[in-house]
């Protein structure tokens, strides 16, 4: 289109003119001005050019050829992608900024209060809620990974009836039909099975339902139940009364097969206060653990005793008898003697007896300042004896108080099974439980459910139980639905949805509400009704505050002094049955909650499947764990198959030897070996549920093991070598040694002999105001995997699959090395030492010098950066990294199906849409062929820096303090072992940690100067224990010479020499050197 130039109005009589026509202001001239070119100008000279090419034709041909060339080349263009802005802004959102909401994860062991990060309406990260009294802002591994459960592409997406898709209105009419049926007969023949998550709203709806239909059978079922513990508490302390432990006040703690430090098993927040007492600079507590296999608690224990699970009763009875006798507690004595009388055949070894007397001596010396704990699945006799010991030791009211929870026992699954067999159940509703898989040993639940005419199963994914139920209803994830739940201390916590249900899932509250005949509740109406019963103030402000902080303050159960109900205990003692007898030659089989899939409920979660087990470092599998001595005796080695049989059921399972495992005992994790679910769930591990009984859920006291010949099983372990080989990687000492020579860890091994360091190069200056560093306290690191999952979620770390893990290609940016160490080198009962290893961000990074393309470089604030765009993937940096923390994308793990990695371009490409939603938008999703590693959560650092600029405004931003923030691993750490911060600031926690005499650097002699340092592990052994001379000697016997010889030249030569090195003598002084020269 031709442009029209609007000329300004012209003077009638111009003073300057181009020609006479203009001067005359003639019409012809004025018209010509309106056109850029006079009429026919384009045709001018056409005649003249007819022989050749006209200008127009030339342009036409040029245009056409360019267009043709464009067609040919258009395939070379990058695919177009669009960023589409909101046409109307959503409330609160600023694109690119996160929003944080409080919610709570319902979990069988205790709810976990959370703060969820949402990005453009998608929850992308889960953190602990630091405001909550039971939380220090941390989470466990399962809470971190629950994000992936939300986006799991294998989630159920449709309601099905008899295998065919059904509409939601059809389901609604079915629920109405159920109600009609119940109205006619008071709910007879209807049973509802739910999982155990103390939700007040669900309890309210249950009460309403049972009031209207009293004949409904209500069952609360957990495969890993604390049934015996609760029964013991109900008897000894009062109905619904549960103990609250005060670990902060406990000087001596005895854990009898109780993994109380594992938050996922023992309950989130249970061990609060424990870690504060592991500080060797204050009065340190002492932890004894008795267990058959290594647990997290056993790993941290000062004294750990290997004992078969079936002997724990005898051990507890011996302890109780001694405590009862010494404290003159008749009730406890009676308990112990009854137990011993009931089980006359079980004898304790002399080693056990020595242990018992030494431990009891320590307990008696710390009366009122001790705690004895037993695992929730132990028998009722053991539970009663443990409670009795706490009572006799005067711990009631000091370290152990109680709360009246009002929790009432419900019918058990066994009762339900009997009712179904009797044919009295016609309608069965199963919410988020999977008895076909988890309760498979005693009853055939496949047949039981099939025999019920009307069955409905609500679950996130299609499970074994869904397959045999008539109705399958997709469940809403807790991040999709309203709810509430009580945390371990009873505080009312809100479960807020972050997103609308992705696949129209239903919550169990909605179904219960529908059974009550109410119209579908809008939003949080159901929850608010419950809330109103808790809070005096029903105003919107209080409600909003509840949602805002995620819990209702002061709603915890009131804590009171426990009282021992002796008559009830006496009555129970009379009914105690003897333990199942066993032959000493038989093996026992212990059933463990899996560190990755718990009881199997998380087996669809690829992040968790790929997370190595705390102890075995096994991914994507479980195994039959046995002691090396037993394996040798049976001529077995890792990966050999055995047939495990209890006489009725038998399973074939591959074995894995585990140092520190009790002899005559094998253990296996639950939750594996599921078949035909999704490819993540199927073909991983072995199902050991068939050997487990409800009567003795922790162990089966007598199994036979028959070695099978044939192919070996290849496990996918992330760590295959468990011996430190005399290298002082984890440094450990006793409290005594620490007090004698606080800096013992800094002169250990080679570090006492490092020669003066002379550098040829001047290090680039660290000009930034903040210098980032990290400290990991090995005294509190239990190796619980929370940091691993937090990192995976925060940094979009891909999952690589079992085959790739077997090939040594796992991508985790942070790993937990787990060492077994004993001073004499024997592996009978070695110590277990976990150590979190992430990129050490060395000042003299070996990786940086070798990268040919400058893809890994250093920042002014001391970070070792990785530029993915620049990386060509020579992998030289990975070779040269002494810590081996660099991870290479051998395949397109994000975009190709993990079972088709080797098909290359023939495999489908792309990521499930739901998985795309789970990614942290601030972190690049890496492609194949590039190296990656821990960045110290660079995106969080930058966010904080941007925040500072915003806050500073026009003022000097450098003087504005940076907003406090944590790295993902630090935030998730339940024991506050990982601390990150500015080491240039002497007041920061990380600086203070690095000032500790326990602070040491790994592989110091390399002069890489890592920014990550470790605090040595200190053990607090009891000198009168039989194994006291073996505790705290992971690095071998004490090397007195090193400490003595070099005492005159200061704590660490290296630092001394560092000051005189050419690097330091220039104007550039690293913060670390500044610290050291102080």
Nearest CB to another protein, comparing residues 56 and 727: 727
Please, what is the minimum distance in Å from the beta carbon of residue 1058 to another protein?
Answer: 18
Q: Does residue 909 touch another protein according to CB under 8 A?
A: no
Residues 6+ apart with CB under 8 A from 696: 379, 580
User: Would you list the DSSP string of 194-222?
Assistant: E-----HHHHHHHHHHHHH-TT-EEEE--
> β-pairing, 641-645 with 650-657?
antiparallel
Q: Does residue 712 touch another protein according to CB under 8 A?
A: no
Q: Does residue 1076 touch another protein according to CB under 8 A?
A: no
Q: How many helices (H) and strands (E) does the chain have?
A: 37, 39
Q: Does residue 790 touch another protein according to CB under 8 A?
A: no
Tokens of 1044: 């003595």
Q: Write each residue from 654 to 673 as x if it is in contact with another protein (CB under 8 A), else as -, in one continuous string.
A: --------------------
Please, what is the minimum distance in Å from the beta carbon of residue 1001 to another protein?
Answer: 13
SS3 call for 877: helix
Q: Does residue 77 touch another protein according to CB under 8 A?
A: no
Please, what is the minimum distance in Å from the beta carbon of residue 820 to another protein?
Answer: 11
Answer yes or no: are the C-beta atoms of 789 and 607 closer than 8 Å. yes
Q: Which stretch binds another protein (CB under 8 A): 69-77, 151-159, 903-911, 1040-1048?
A: 903-911
Among 25, 645, 723, 757, which residue sits at the site for another protein (rule: CB under 8 A)?
A: 723
Q: First vs last Cα of the chain: how many Å apart?
A: 76
Among 62, 89, 173, 849, which residue sits at the site for another protein (rule: CB under 8 A)?
A: 849
Distance CA 737, CA 227 (A): 44
Please, what is the minimum distance in Å from the beta carbon of residue 946 to another protein?
Answer: 23
Please, what is the minimum distance in Å from the beta carbon of residue 829 to another protein?
Answer: 20
SS3 call for 564: coil
Please, what is the minimum distance in Å from the beta carbon of residue 931 to another protein?
Answer: 8
SS3 call for 836: strand
Q: Does residue 891 touch another protein according to CB under 8 A?
A: yes
Nearest CB to another protein, comparing residues 143 and 836: 836
Residues 6+ apart with CB under 8 A from 1068: 762, 763, 764, 765, 766
List the Cα angle 603/608/610 in 5-degree steps: 105
Q: Which stretch binds another protein (CB under 8 A): 94-102, 734-742, 951-959, 1000-1008?
A: 1000-1008
Answer yes or no: are the C-beta atoms of 489 and 133 closer than 8 Å. yes
Q: Tell me which residue of 609, 244, 550 sits closest to 402, measured CA to CA.
A: 244
Q: Does residue 731 touch another protein according to CB under 8 A?
A: no
Q: Does residue 890 touch another protein according to CB under 8 A?
A: yes
**Helix ranges (DSSP H) in 634-703:** none
> What Cα–Cα distance (Å) separates residue 1011 from each residue in 842, 935, 1015?
6, 12, 13
List the Cα angle 423/428/434 in 5-degree steps: 115
Nearest CB to another protein, comparing residues 376 and 830: 830
Q: Does residue 75 touch another protein according to CB under 8 A?
A: no
Q: How far is CA 769 from the centre of its chain?
A: 33
Tokens of 700: 């089966």
Distance CA 1070, CA 1078 (A): 13
Q: Which stretch binds another protein (CB under 8 A): 181-189, 297-305, 391-399, 800-808?
A: 800-808
> β-pairing, 286-291 with 303-306?
parallel
SS3 call for 84: coil
As beta bridge partners, residue 212 has none
Please, what is the minimum distance in Å from the beta carbon of residue 667 to another protein?
Answer: 23
Site for another protein in 124-143 (CB under 8 A): none
Answer yes or no: are the C-beta atoms of 465 and 459 closer than 8 Å. yes
SS3 call for 971: helix
Q: Does residue 1039 touch another protein according to CB under 8 A?
A: no
Residues 6+ apart with CB under 8 A from 20: none
Q: Does residue 445 touch another protein according to CB under 8 A?
A: no
Among 851, 925, 968, 1064, which residue sits at the site for another protein (rule: CB under 8 A)?
A: 851
Nearest CB to another protein, comparing residues 540 and 720: 720
Please, what is the minimum distance in Å from the beta carbon of residue 797 to another protein?
Answer: 14
Answer positive or negative: Cα dihedral of 304, 307, 309, 314.
Answer: negative
Please, what is the minimum distance in Å from the beta carbon of residue 612 to another protein?
Answer: 11
Task: At 703, give phi and psi (nearest 5°).
Answer: -130, 155
Among 208, 334, 634, 878, which residue sits at the site for another protein (rule: CB under 8 A)?
A: 878
Q: Does residue 1036 touch another protein according to CB under 8 A?
A: no
Q: Write each residue from 733 to 772 as x if it is in contact with another protein (CB under 8 A), else as -, in one continuous string.
A: ----------------xx----------------------
Q: Which stretch binds another protein (CB under 8 A): 523-531, 570-578, 820-828, 875-883?
A: 875-883
Please, what is the minimum distance in Å from the beta carbon of residue 81 to another protein?
Answer: 20
Tokens of 63: 């245009």
Site for another protein in 804-843 (CB under 8 A): 804, 807-810, 815, 817-819, 837
Q: Does residue 1000 touch another protein according to CB under 8 A?
A: no
The site that binds another protein (CB under 8 A) totals a number of residues, namely 64
> What Cα–Cα distance (Å) separates residue 759 from each residue in 807, 997, 1057?
38, 26, 11
Please, what is the minimum distance in Å from the beta carbon of residue 798 to another protein?
Answer: 13
Residue 95's CB: how many other CB atoms inside 10 A?
Answer: 12
Distance CA 882, CA 205 (A): 58
Kindly list the strands in the beta sheet with 454-459, ordered across the sheet, starting from the edge strand earlier in the chain. 164-166, 159-161, 471-474, 454-459, 427-431, 190-194, 217-220
Nearest CB to another protein, comparing residues 84 and 760: 760
Q: Does residue 1050 touch another protein according to CB under 8 A?
A: no
Nearest CB to another protein, comparing residues 423 and 904: 904
Answer yes or no: are the C-beta atoms of 542 and 535 closer than 8 Å. yes
Nearest CB to another protein, comparing residues 541 and 852: 852
Please, what is the minimum distance in Å from the beta carbon of residue 835 to another protein?
Answer: 8
Among 326, 928, 945, 1030, which residue sits at the site for another protein (rule: CB under 8 A)?
A: 928
Q: Does residue 874 touch another protein according to CB under 8 A?
A: yes
Q: Tell me which residue of 380, 383, 381, 445 sits closest to 413, measured CA to CA.
A: 445
Task: At 30, give phi and psi (nearest 5°).
Answer: -60, -35
Q: Does residue 354 touch another protein according to CB under 8 A?
A: no
SS3 call for 409: coil
Among 61, 902, 916, 1062, which residue sits at the site for another protein (rule: CB under 8 A)?
A: 902
Nearest CB to another protein, comparing residues 154 and 813: 813
Nearest CB to another protein, comparing residues 683 and 719: 719
Among 68, 903, 1045, 1047, which residue sits at the site for another protein (rule: CB under 8 A)?
A: 903
Nearest CB to another protein, comparing residues 580 and 723: 723
Nearest CB to another protein, comparing residues 103 and 894: 894
As beta bridge partners, residue 117 has 100, 125
Q: Does residue 884 touch another protein according to CB under 8 A?
A: yes
Q: Does residue 883 touch another protein according to CB under 8 A?
A: yes
Q: Write each residue from 852 to 871 as x if it is in contact with another protein (CB under 8 A), else as -, in one continuous string.
A: xxx---------------xx
Q: Can you give 135-164 as a three-state secondary structure string?
A: CCCCCCHHHHHHHHHHHCCCECCCEEECCE
Contact residues: another protein, CB under 8 A: 719-727, 729, 749-750, 804, 807-810, 815, 817-819, 837, 846, 848-854, 870-876, 878-880, 882-884, 886-892, 901-905, 927-931, 1003, 1005-1006, 1008
């Amino acid at each position: 289109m031709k442009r029209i130039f609007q000329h300004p109005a012209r003077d009638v009589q111009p003073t300057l003119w181009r020609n006479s026509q203009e001067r005359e202001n003639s019409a012809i001239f004025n018209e010509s001005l309106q056109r850029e070119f006079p009429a026919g100008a384009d045709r001018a000279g056409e005649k003249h050019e007819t022989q050749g090419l006209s200008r127009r034709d030339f342009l036409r041909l040029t245009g056409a050829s360019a267009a043709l060339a464009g067609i040919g080349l258009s395939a070379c263009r990058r695919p177009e992608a669009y960023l589409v802005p909101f046409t109307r802004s959503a409330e609160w959102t600023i694109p690119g900024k996160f929003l944080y909401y409080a919610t709570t994860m319902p979990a069988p062991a205790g709810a976990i209060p959370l703060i969820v990060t949402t990005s453009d309406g998608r929850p992308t990260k889960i953190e602990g809620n630091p405001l909550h009294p039971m939380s220090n802002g941390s989470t466990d591994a399962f809470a971190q990974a629950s994000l992936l459960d939300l986006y799991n592409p294998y989630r159920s997406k449709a309601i099905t009836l008899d295998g065919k898709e059904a509409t939601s209105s059809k389901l609604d009419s079915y629920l109405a039909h159920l109600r009609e049926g119940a109205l006619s007969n008071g709910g007879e023949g209807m049973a509802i099975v739910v999982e155990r998550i103390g939700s007040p709203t669900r309890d309210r709806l249950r009460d309403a339902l049972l009031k209207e239909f009293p004949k409904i059978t209500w069952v609360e079922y957990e495969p890993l139940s604390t049934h015996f513990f609760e029964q013991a508490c109900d008897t000894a302390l009062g109905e619904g009364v549960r103990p609250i432990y005060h670990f902060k006040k406990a000087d001596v703690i005895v854990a009898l097969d109780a993994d109380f430090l594992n938050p996922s098993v023992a309950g989130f927040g249970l061990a609060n206060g424990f870690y504060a007492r592991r500080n060797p600079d204050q009065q340190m507590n002492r932890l004894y653990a008795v267990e058959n296999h290594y647990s997290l608690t056993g790993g941290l224990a000062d004294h750990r005793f290997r004992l078969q699970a079936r002997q724990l009763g005898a051990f507890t009875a011996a302890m109780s008898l001694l405590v009862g006798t010494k404290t003159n507690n008749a009730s406890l004595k009676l308990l112990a003697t009854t137990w011993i009388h009931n089980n006359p055949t079980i004898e304790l070894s002399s080693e056990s007896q020595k242990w018992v007397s030494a431990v009891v001596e320590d307990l008696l010396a710390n009366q009122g300042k001790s705690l004895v704990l037993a695992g929730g699945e132990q028998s009722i006799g053991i539970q009663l004896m443990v409670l009795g010991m706490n009572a006799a030791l005067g711990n009631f009211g000091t370290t152990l108080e109680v709360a009246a929870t009002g929790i009432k026992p419900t019918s058990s699954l066994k009762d339900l099974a009997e009712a179904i067999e009797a044919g009295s159940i016609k309608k069965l509703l199963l919410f988020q439980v999977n008895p076909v898989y988890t309760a498979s040993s005693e009853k055939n639940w496949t047949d039981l459910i099939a025999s019920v005419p009307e069955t409905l199963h609500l679950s996130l994914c299609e499970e074994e139980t869904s397959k045999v139920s008539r109705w399958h209803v997709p469940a809403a994830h807790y991040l999709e639905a309203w709810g509430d739940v009580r945390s371990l201390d009873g505080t009312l916590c809100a479960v807020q949805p972050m997103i609308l249900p992705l696949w129209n899932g239903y919550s169990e509250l909605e179904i219960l509400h529908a059974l009550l005949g109410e119209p579908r509740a809008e939003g949080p109406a159901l929850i608010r009704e419950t809330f109103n019963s808790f809070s005096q103030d029903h105003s919107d402000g209080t409600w909003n505050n509840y949602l805002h902080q995620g819990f209702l303050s002061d709603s915890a159960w009131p804590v009171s002094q426990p009282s021992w109900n002796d008559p009830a205990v006496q009555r129970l003692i009379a009914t105690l049955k003897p333990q199942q007898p066993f032959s000493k030659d038989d093996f026992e089989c212990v059933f463990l909650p899996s560190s990755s899939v718990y009881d199997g409920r998380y087996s669809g979660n690829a992040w968790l499947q790929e997370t190595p087990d705390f102890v075995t470092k096994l991914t994507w599998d479980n195994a039959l764990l046995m002691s090396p001595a037993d394996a040798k005796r049976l001529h077995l080695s890792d990966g050999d198959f055995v047939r495990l049989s209890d006489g009725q059921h038998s399973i074939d399972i591959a074995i894995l030897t585990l140092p520190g495992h009790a002899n005559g005992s094998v253990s296996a994790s639950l939750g594996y070996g599921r078949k035909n679910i999704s490819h993540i769930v199927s073909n991983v591990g072995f199902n050991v549920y068939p050997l487990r009984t409800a009567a003795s859920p922790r162990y089966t006291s007598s199994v036979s093991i028959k070695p099978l010949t044939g192919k070996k099983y290849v496990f996918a372990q992330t760590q295959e070598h468990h011996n430190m080989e005399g290298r002082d990687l984890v440094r450990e000492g006793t409290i005594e040694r620490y007090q004698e020579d606080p800096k013992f860890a800094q002169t250990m091994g080679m570090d006492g002999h490092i020669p003066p360091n002379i550098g040829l190069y001047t290090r680039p200056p660290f000009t930034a105001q903040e210098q980032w560093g990290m400290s990991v306290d090995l005294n509190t690191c239990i190796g619980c995997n929370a940091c691993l999952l937090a990192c995976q979620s925060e940094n979009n770390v891909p999952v690589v699959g079992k085959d790739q893990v077997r090939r040594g290609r796992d991508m985790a940016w942070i790993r937990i090395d787990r060492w077994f160490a004993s001073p004499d080198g024997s592996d009978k009962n070695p110590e277990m030492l976990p150590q979190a290893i992430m990129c050490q961000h060395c000042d003299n990074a070996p990786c940086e010098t070798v990268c040919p393309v400058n893809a890994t470089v250093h920042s002014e604030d001391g970070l070792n950066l990785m530029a993915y765009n620049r990386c060509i993937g020579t992998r030289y940096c990975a070779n040269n990294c002494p810590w081996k923390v660099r991870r290479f994308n051998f395949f397109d793990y994000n975009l190709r199906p993990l079972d088709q990695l080797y098909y290359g371009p023939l495999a489908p490409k792309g990521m499930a849409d739901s998985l795309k939603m789970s990614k942290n938008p601030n972190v690049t999703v890496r492609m194949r062929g590039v190296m990656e590693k821990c960045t110290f959560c660079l995106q969080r650092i930058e966010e904080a820096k941007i925040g500072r600029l915003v806050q500073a405004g026009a003022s000097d931003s450098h003087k504005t303090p940076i907003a406090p923030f944590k790295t993902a691993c630090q935030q998730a750490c339940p024991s506050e072992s990982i601390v990150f911060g500015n080491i240039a600031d002497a007041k920061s926690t990380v600086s203070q940690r690095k000032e500790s005499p326990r602070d040491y650097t790994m592989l110091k002699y390399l002069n890489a100067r890592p920014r990550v340092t470790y605090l040595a592990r200190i053990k607090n052994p009891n000198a009168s224990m039989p194994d006291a001379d073996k505790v705290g000697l992971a690095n071998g016997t004490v090397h007195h010479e090193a400490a003595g010889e070099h005492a005159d030249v200061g704590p660490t030569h290296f630092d001394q020499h560092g000051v005189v090195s050419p690097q330091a003598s220039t104007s550039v002084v690293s913060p670390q050197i500044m610290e050291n020269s102080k």
